[in-house]
Structure 1
Amino acid sequence: MHLAVRDLAVGHPGRPVLRGVTFTAAAGDRVGLVGENGTGKTTLLHAVAGRLEPTAGQVRLVGTLALVEQDLPLVAGMTVGDLVEEALGPVRAAARELDEATAAVDAHQDQGDAERLAVALARAERLGVWDADRRVDEALTRFGAPRDTTRPLASLSVGERYRARLACQVAGRADVLLLDEPTNHLDVGGIDYLTEQVRRWQGAVVVVTHDRRLLDDVMTAIVDLDPSVDGTPTVYGATDYATYRYARDQAWRRWQQRYTAERARRERLAERLDTSYEGLSDEWRPPKGSQKHRRGTRARIHVKAADRLLEQLDANAVEVPPPPVRLVFPDLPASPAATAADSPPLLEARGVHVPGRLDLPGVRVQVPPCGRLLVTGPNGSGKSTLLGVLAGRVPSERGVRSTGPGVRVGLLGQDDEVAHDTTRTGFEAYAAHALRLLEADELDPQHLVPVAGLGLLSEDDLERPLRELSVGQRRRFDLACALLAAPHVLVLDEPTNHLSVALVDDLTEALRATSAAVVVATHDRALRADLADWPNLDLG
């Protein structure tokens, strides 16, 4: 069982997405796919799974394959049990083949039947056909997914649907397992269980992830889809995130140094060429007795030599593509007015109660100017609900929520918190969101953060309809919308979901440095470690 990708290219008419992708994954290999949002990580998984036709190169697969995508399209009437049977299809087929091979041996005692039985038995043992249903039940439990196989998928939340499908595919033991951002909807217990399963996987695993701890814990190689000096992705043998980032930063530094040196050399040659042309021009009106023929010959020789050097340099020049998107975090205000020592909290909530979702009798949550708060707890404990109450998006049936005069709150929800018309371009949708905030008196026109200045999306991306952007790019856009009104309090629910690992690093640094107050709910283990010195409200 193995996977081999050779010089793969995928793209749309007039817009290439991937080119020159080459890597292999054999049994026991665990390959992490990283890169900026929009570089084609999900596209690569779809090409490997046969969902997209490559424009060049090839994919060679030996064995069965399972793909767990970020989104699960709803099919009318589909249940959890349907997911189970779909994932266990190869397991059921292996069990049937084992029964048929056993029956053939019992009936004929033929050498060929004996060989067939040996092959069937080996496959059945590898797939664990005898305890497949137990594995499904265990995975559903450990991932926090519904175990009732009659439950319609339409009745589940986005996170529950994802966890159910992930559990089924993990129990299925495919030869090649493709995972797209598998930790997005998992709590710490679920991530630990996933880590254990991936480490023990007998086949090959390819994972698109922003989770720096997962990269550290399980990967045997990292494929970076960001462009390199030759324009193709880079395979790093590093097995931990810190080593990968060091090697990547060193490669980029050498690239930049070479580019800078060649540009400087080209400028010197251009100056030499200008001087030679000036000499050639002056020659046509020489002073008397200047040996014009000898001077003209020398001038033409100098010009030709400079031209040849420029041609050679252009042929071997390093073309640096646009650098990776870097976050330019805005200078957010600490409070609507000058902060006094005894300033009241910017935001406060007491005794929050949202029926069926959250009940915090006697609990007071205060967010002072420049305050910090880390909210933790397992899935279902009410973290998203609490953040929605704090941001004023979810009403509390009991208790009190209050904000100081003029306090602006920005919210990044976990699942499409901001409703956008996806037929609009990024610029149009950003303007529409600004108008909504203005009408709700949640925006001061004198304090507006332009989307193009954040470094989250390029101007070309912002000119495209939102529906054409990747999941990660739309997540970047939602982050920009949370920053639009220059909030005094920034409320972030799982802020690292769908973002690139490089942007997660930039965002973590910005959250620690900003003057605004910040409230974060996250299962990201690396981010929690980075924010371990913040006050922690554990809802578990």
Structure 2
Amino acid sequence: MSILYCRNCGVDVSGEALFRQVTFAVEKGEKVGLVGPNGAGKTTLLRACLGELRLESGDVFLTGTLGYLPQNPLIDENGTVWSSMLEERADLIDMRAQLHILEERMAQSADEKIFEQYSALTERFETMGGYALEAQIRKILSGLGLSNEVNRAIQHLSGGQKTRLALSKLLLRSPDFLVLDEPTNHLDMDALEWLEGFLKGYAGAILVVSHDRYFLDNVVQKVLHLENGSLQSYSGNYSEYELQRALEEMTLAREADKLNKKIARIEDYIRRNKAGQNSKQARGRETHLNKIKPIDVSKTPKAMQISLSTGRRSGDRTLMLEEVSIEFPGRKLFQGANVELRRGDRVALLGENGVGKTSLLKAIKGGLNYKGEIRLGANVKLGYYSQEHEELRGKGSILDEIREDSDLLDPEIRSLLARFGFVSEEVFKPVAVLSGGEKSRLALAKLFLTQGNLLLLDEPTNHLDTRMRDVLEEALQDFDGTLLVVSHDRYFLDRVVNKIARLTPKGIRLYVGDYSTYKTQVQEETAVTAQARNISNQNSSSDVTSRLKGNSKGATDRDIKRRQKKVLQLETQVAELEKELKSLESQMEEVTSNYEKAMELHHVYEEKKALLDSTMLEWLEITED
């Protein structure tokens, strides 16, 4: 059964049709991606389906509860992160208060109706996840990187943090149908991967607009493609959609070529025979020709080709960082950063949000103070791309923007801009009114003019549609200089980079390989660390025995053996208690019993925790004597 059904929908923008006769459905539990070039109307289609924009034609049928995350969500800034999350489930908080009232009434009266009310309300509270509410809140906030902001006032959060809070609130509400417009914006790698896992296990239906191809590959089961006012549906994830789309375009191109050759033959026949003895046949062919409808093979951005050439060859060593640190008043971002880049390196700079990735690029460019030493190699010329498009002046037209930075003549500028998707009268469009994708393409055109052999790129795929991302990736693959890029686009990183530099507050660690190779290395390191920890725990008993012998001079062998036995007993008891506590924590988070059972588990947990503390104290006293 469909949870969303749009039939023959049409929307006008500024009096002109953006799309017409759009029909599609999202089934219950289905996970669907909506893709298409910038300006195709993806967000407009979402808003029209949800009733936020007026439909010029068609009908929309929506069943079940809905949750919608726009690209720039508005959020109430009153209170803290924690209180805001609790308010999202005010229904459960009210239900909990009603349970407490009923408990008090049951303590005062044995009225059977009160017990029946309490039993029914308890069952409903449990079914709706009331007993696990706080645990679920902690899980979501931690997954989206807000665990350290739990008690922080919302008004003091950054714009990105507010967007993540809006997403957290939506996931906590758990509606039947999630509609997400670019949900991966403002997420670091860990949060991205957590969100992927959460959505893959989500019981409800999902419709998501995203340019993150890696994300779409891992989450969706169907892809809707919106372009030139029409919508097509493809089964499978993004990679499968791309393959189907490519096959379609190849087939269409072949059919168009065959038809064009047929038209050319008919036209040639008409031209040769229009005035001769075969003129009657020629007129018949002309009538037939007028009935032939040409196949329109639209030229897409993927057909564009851009290059990022270097003006000169740099030395083998292009960039050296020695003990670099960056700090702001009251806060140190990172320290002890050491790394060397060599010509031809394509390095991705990764790290948690706020660790200082963008700040490091700005320091290398010379636009930010730092401590330590940053040195550029011989013949190195920098090219810089900012995710905030700081290099754009924003005054005048697109054509004026390029005129300011080059000695090219206008025809040459127009030829350059055409390579970046600005054709015909578009070059006279004011920079101030450009969309995010258009500004990104213009910034890339200006990057081309620098002819830098060391490119510093800060989120270069932001705002670009998937086809323009493909074009950029191909250009960077052919680039013969050195690249240092900050990006959360894992698909892009797998295609472009050959090294990963992981930035932490304590410095930089370099990994060889693309993003997928880096993830495998990190997982292997984590497994080795866990194994070493287990071995260390297993060897702790022998270490304790050695300490006992060293600390028991003058004691008899019988005393030593007695103490060793007691230590082993205590260690076994500690291990068992820790295991029991973990089990109780899981039961409290996923309790499937009534309220009294939840309270009982809590009391048992506190008793076990107190016993663990006393046991640990006894173990310390024996081993330190």
Contact 1:38 1:472 in 2 (8 A): no
Residue 259 of structure 2 aligns with an amino acid whose one-letter code is E
1:285-330 superposed Cα distances (whole Å, 9 cap, x missing partner):
xxxxxxxxxx5xx63x33431232022113xx32333324445222
Contact 1:348 1:390 in 2 (8 A): no
Contact 1:178 1:207 in 2 (8 A): yes
Q: Distance in 1 between matches of 2:467 and 2:460?
A: 13
Long gaps (5+) in structure 1: 280-294
1:352 to 294, 315, 324: 324
Alignment partner, residue 285 of structure 1? none
1:362-415 superposed Cα distances (whole Å, 9 cap, x missing partner):
x3344444332221222232222212222333332x123344577442223334
Distance of aligned partners of 1:302 and 1:82 in 2 relative to their CA distance in 1, 3 Å threshold: farther
Q: Distance in 2 between matches of 1:448 and 1:517?
A: 26
Q: Distance in 1 between matches of 2:94 and 2:7?
A: 31
- Match status 1:237 vs 2:235: yes
The secondary structure found in structure 2 opposite 1:483 is: helix
TM-score normalised by the chain length of structure 2: 0.68
Alignment partner, residue 147 of structure 1? 149
Alignment partner, residue 10 of structure 2? 9
- Match status 1:249 vs 2:251: no
Q: Distance in 1 between matches of 2:348 and 2:321?
A: 15
Distance of aligned partners of 1:236 and 1:333 in 2 relative to their CA distance in 1, 3 Å threshold: same
Q: Distance in 2 between matches of 1:97 and 1:157?
A: 37
1:402-446 superposed Cα distances (whole Å, 9 cap, x missing partner):
44577442223334444553x854334x33xx63xx5xxxx7879
Of the two structures, which has the highest relative contact order with CA contacts closer than 8 Å and spacing of 6 or more? Answer: 1
Q: Distance in 2 between matches of 1:309 and 1:479?
A: 48
Distance of aligned partners of 1:320 and 1:386 in 2 relative to their CA distance in 1, 3 Å threshold: same
- Match status 1:266 vs 2:240: no
Q: Tell me how far 1:248 sits from its aligned partner.
A: 0.5
Distance of aligned partners of 1:409 and 1:127 in 2 relative to their CA distance in 1, 3 Å threshold: farther
1:385 to 359, 362, 365: 359
Q: How many residues align?
A: 490
Q: Distance in 1 between matches of 2:182 and 2:452?
A: 29
Structure with a larger share of its residues in helix: 2
Alignment partner, residue 219 of structure 1? 220
Q: Tell me how far 1:148 sits from its aligned partner.
A: 3.5
The secondary structure found in structure 1 opposite 2:374 is: strand
Residue 364 of structure 2 aligns with an amino acid whose one-letter code is L
Identity of aligned residues (%): 26
Q: Distance in 2 between matches of 1:270 and 1:123?
A: 76
Distance of aligned partners of 1:52 and 1:416 in 2 relative to their CA distance in 1, 3 Å threshold: farther
Q: Tell me how far 1:98 sits from its aligned partner.
A: 11
Distance of aligned partners of 1:70 and 1:450 in 2 relative to their CA distance in 1, 3 Å threshold: farther
Alignment partner, residue 455 of structure 1? 420
1:442-494 superposed Cα distances (whole Å, 9 cap, x missing partner):
x7879999651433445455444456544334333333343342222211223
Alignment partner, residue 292 of structure 1? none
Q: Tell me how far 1:209 sits from its aligned partner.
A: 1.6
Residue 536 of structure 1 aligns with an amino acid whose one-letter code is A
Q: Distance in 2 between matches of 1:7 and 1:321?
A: 23
Residue 351 of structure 2 aligns with an amino acid whose one-letter code is G
Q: Distance in 2 between matches of 1:95 and 1:226?
A: 49
Q: How does 1:18-97 map to 2 (within 5 A)?
A: 18-72=19-73, 80=81, 84=85, 87-88=88-89
1:146-200 superposed Cα distances (whole Å, 9 cap, x missing partner):
63455234x3333222222212211121221111222232222211211122112
The secondary structure found in structure 2 opposite 1:235 is: strand
1:41-63 superposed Cα distances (whole Å, 9 cap, x missing partner):
22222223322222222322112
Residue 388 of structure 1 aligns with an amino acid whose one-letter code is K
- Match status 1:313 vs 2:289: no
Alignment partner, residue 135 of structure 1? 136
Q: Distance in 1 between matches of 2:100 and 2:3?
A: 27
- Match status 1:414 vs 2:387: yes
> Which aligned segments of 4 or more residues in structure 1 are displaced greater than 6 angstroms?
74-79, 89-100, 106-109, 120-126, 443-450
Distance of aligned partners of 1:329 and 1:359 in 2 relative to their CA distance in 1, 3 Å threshold: same
The secondary structure found in structure 2 opposite 1:178 is: strand
Contact 2:318 2:380 in 1 (8 A): yes
The secondary structure found in structure 2 opposite 1:5 is: strand
Alignment partner, residue 333 of structure 1? 310
Query: What CA RMSD, in Å, does the superposition of the two structures yield over aligned residues?
Result: 3.9
Contact 1:69 1:180 in 2 (8 A): yes
Q: Distance in 2 between matches of 1:419 and 1:411?
A: 12
Residue 384 of structure 1 aligns with an amino acid whose one-letter code is T
Q: Tell me how far 1:235 sits from its aligned partner.
A: 0.4
Residue 129 of structure 2 aligns with an amino acid whose one-letter code is G
- Match status 1:304 vs 2:277: no
2:447 to 482, 486, 502: 482
Alignment partner, residue 167 of structure 1? 168
Distance of aligned partners of 1:263 and 1:501 in 2 relative to their CA distance in 1, 3 Å threshold: same
